[in-house]
Structure 1
Amino acid sequence: MTLSGLPLGVTVVVPAHNEEAGLPATLESLAAQTVPPEQVIVVDDASDDRTGEVAAAYGARVLRPPQNQGSKAKAQNYALPYCTTELILAVDADTVLAPDYIERTIGVFDDPDVAIAAGNVQTRFTRTIWERGRSVEYLFGFHWHRPIQHAAGSPMVCSGCCSVFRWSDLRVAGGFPERTIVEDMDFTWSRQIEGRRAVYVSDAVAWAADPQTLTYLRKQVWRWMAGFCQNVRLHLPRLMKAKPMLALWVLLALAEIITAPLWLATPFLVAASDTQSFAEAFAWWLGAETLLTLPPLVYAARRRRLSLLGVLRNVPCVYATKAVNLVYAWKALVVELILVPLKLAKGLTVYEKGRPALAAPV
């Protein structure tokens, strides 16, 4: 038994709203785990399709709140009283786990200081420009940024689509945080501020379904960027005192957002100064970009056993997703870090998914 009095097993919680088409792949991946969970709970969050029936057909315990909870964190909190193990794996209804995901992540909880852990997230599909761009972002981030942060003992976030939480830490925190629009980052930062550990498990792999269209990519990126800035507003002063290395990553992320327009405009600025032609300036800029991004992508392709040519073909697409990221990152800076403190805006409070409900198979 653990300090919470619960066995050190795993309860999976899957919040789901209108997920009848995508849910089977998630539940099949849970059924195929080398270390099976003690139970799988699907929170059928006021769906108007067959989500609950599909979940029950796969043997999951189905909970249906009397009304839509309004956010993923609230749906997950609805399931907490029904969890019977010390470890809780929160999985999005569009995420597929590698068969050894639970096996690889639960081992880090032998350390009683670990409060949360998550693995390596990759894209499930690369059909559209937006998915292809996101695939490059994930390959770079999860094989460059995350390992460095993990080595420094200060991961920026344990991805909410596939994180394992310790029940006793959730209880101390009052459940999955509902005060920001991104509960995973909020919990990751707040627990590290309290002296607990967050862990990145690089060999545990999950595949997430990312936005296929610009419309839904904008919704998702706005939620992510607004949530990041909400957490900056809420936690940064305490981070700088209690977890300075994590504060450094946060400040570097803010600096990157602020300086990104200047970097992207560099070829135009150099050409305008008459020191070089635009072609020469762009060639230097492209060379620097390649030098900074190519080595981690080559390593990631080898690590994930992906075609290097296929990865490189997706690289141009990442500039489309970067443009969307930059627009909403700046919007978040203005709204969440300037207008909200001045009481001129409320900030983002409405949770929207980054993709539409999939059509049910015929």
Structure 2
Amino acid sequence: MHTITVIVPAHNEEEGLPATLESLARQTVRPDRILVVDDASTDRTGEVAASHGVTVLRPPRNLGSKAKAQNYALPQCTTDLVLAVDADTVLAPDYIETVLPVFDDPEVSIAAGTVRTRHTRTLWERGRSTEYLFGFHWHRPIQARANSPMVCSGCCSVFRRDDLMAFGGFPERTIVEDMDYTWAQQIASRRAVYVSDAVALAADPEDLTYLRKQVWRWMAGFCQNVRLHLGRLIVHKPLLAVWVLLALLEILTAPLWWATPFVLAATTDQPPALAFAWWAGAELLLTTPPLLYAARRRKLPLATVLLNVPCVYATKAVNLVYAWKALIVELLLVPLHLARGLTVYEKGRADTPAARPVVPGVG
């Protein structure tokens, strides 16, 4: 029988934290302990957490990143498993129950479920929802069948504590600890597992300001991990190295694909509208089938899923800009000692206004 401790790092999360803690309280398999790390919040995060009857840990100063906050709580974990949950993520009631059985295999070191967006109110949230549906119902299942998932999502990953402690805790050397640990464990011949039936709902950036911060962190972190791990991946986990190289190739060739309708219009006799129609048709042919499957798999309204498809091109454009920036900075300038790379962790959502009144226990 597995035992599990939940770590929730939280900095100025009084607004989103209640829903997270309530989702943990509703788990069909209850965690043995819940630790909220109130990382020098200037709002009422600590008080809100305490009102839910969980253990609140308060570092003497702001630690500056999610991994550091999680490591602050790690010595308090005595269970065989550790679940790291972001303070704005809501777990389905059976999340823990669904993930736990994979740890019956002693080779499994880390596991995580499917991530979906909690809200689809803005253009950016709608675009991200489409990205998630496509990625978790196309890329991730293929990687899982090949026993080489690219990442176990940091907002809802379960870790085997002994492996985590032997590794030295949550990695702080890159800006994205989830990918770093997922790759490192697979290089060490440990297993990372995608559990498709376990669902977590994440609060994603509502506006362009915070989307840019989140995407820059993700892309910079990906390239940091490429710089750190790629050589050993090729030797010890070649199939995972293939996914990584394909991701790099996609970044490099994406501008060519986006330019295709304009090139066709300029170099052929086709009218611009027809050139764009051919391009759009190819896009839909590539993207729609996984989305149709995702809508059926998750029992989502098909019309809503399809109406959100145009929004994904706005988020794709942001992804492309920061992916290229990451390539240049992290894979070119940093090795040449011309830049430091991204070292400052910035959240993808605004802090809760400190003056906003909050009723403890109400999400």
The alignment's TM-score, normalised by the length of structure 2, stands at 0.97
Match of 1:213 in 2: 207
Q: Which amino acid aligns with 1:166?
A: R
1:170 maps to 2:141: no
C-alpha separation between the residues in 2 aligned to 1:321 and 1:190? Answer: 29
C-alpha separation between the residues in 2 aligned to 1:199 and 1:16? Answer: 26
Q: Secondary structure at the match of 1:268?
A: helix
**Following TM superposition, by how much is the alpha carbon of 1:358 offset from its aligned partner in structure 2, in angstroms?**
2.9
Stretch moving more, 268-277 or 50-59: 268-277
Match of 1:110 in 2: 104
Alignment of 1:285-300 (within 5 A): 285-300=279-294
C-alpha separation between the residues in 2 aligned to 1:160 and 1:244? Answer: 23
Q: Which amino acid aligns with 2:334?
A: V
**Following TM superposition, by how much is the alpha carbon of 1:173 offset from its aligned partner in structure 2, in angstroms?**
1.0
1:194-224 CA-partner distances (Å, limit 9, x unpaired): 0000000000000000000100000000000
Alignment of 1:207-356 (within 5 A): 207-356=201-350
1:160 maps to 2:134: no
Picking from 35, 40, 43, the partner of 2:37 is 43
1:85-128 CA-partner distances (Å, limit 9, x unpaired): 01000000000000000000011000000000000000000000
**Following TM superposition, by how much is the alpha carbon of 1:361 offset from its aligned partner in structure 2, in angstroms?**
4.8
**Following TM superposition, by how much is the alpha carbon of 1:8 offset from its aligned partner in structure 2, in angstroms?**
2.8
Q: Which amino acid aligns with 2:343?
A: T
Match of 2:120 in 1: 126
Match of 1:202 in 2: 196
C-alpha separation between the residues in 2 aligned to 1:150 and 1:181? Answer: 24
C-alpha separation between the residues in 1 aligned to 2:43 and 2:348? Answer: 18
> 1:156·1:185 contact (CA, 8 Å) conserved in 2?
yes
Match of 2:65 in 1: 71
Q: Which amino acid aligns with 1:40?
A: I
1:142 maps to 2:150: no
> 1:98·1:206 contact (CA, 8 Å) conserved in 2?
yes
**Following TM superposition, by how much is the alpha carbon of 1:64 offset from its aligned partner in structure 2, in angstroms?**
0.2
> 2:43·2:352 contact (CA, 8 Å) conserved in 1?
no
> 1:176·1:183 contact (CA, 8 Å) conserved in 2?
yes
Q: Secondary structure at the match of 2:43?
A: coil
> 1:85·1:167 contact (CA, 8 Å) conserved in 2?
yes
C-alpha separation between the residues in 2 aligned to 1:310 and 1:147? Answer: 23
Q: Secondary structure at the match of 1:40?
A: strand
**Following TM superposition, by how much is the alpha carbon of 1:274 offset from its aligned partner in structure 2, in angstroms?**
2.4
Match of 1:3 in 2: none
Match of 1:4 in 2: none
C-alpha separation between the residues in 1 aligned to 2:247 and 2:270? Answer: 31
C-alpha separation between the residues in 1 aligned to 2:138 and 2:275? Answer: 27
Q: Which amino acid aligns with 1:168?
A: D
Q: RMSD in angstroms over aligned alpha carbons?
A: 0.8
> 1:240·1:247 contact (CA, 8 Å) conserved in 2?
yes
1:215-251 CA-partner distances (Å, limit 9, x unpaired): 0000000000000000000000000000000000000
Give the gaps of 5 or more residues in structure 2. Answer: 359-363
> 1:21·1:361 contact (CA, 8 Å) conserved in 2?
no
Query: Deviating runs (4+, > 6 A) in structure 1?
Result: none
Match of 1:151 in 2: 145
Give the gaps of 5 or more residues in structure 1. Answer: 1-6
Q: Which amino acid aligns with 1:317?
A: C
Q: Secondary structure at the match of 1:264?
A: helix
Q: Which amino acid aligns with 1:218?
A: R
Q: Secondary structure at the match of 1:36?
A: coil
Stretch moving more, 269-278 or 158-167: 269-278
C-alpha separation between the residues in 2 aligned to 1:275 and 1:67? Answer: 65
1:6-30 CA-partner distances (Å, limit 9, x unpaired): x830100000001111100000000
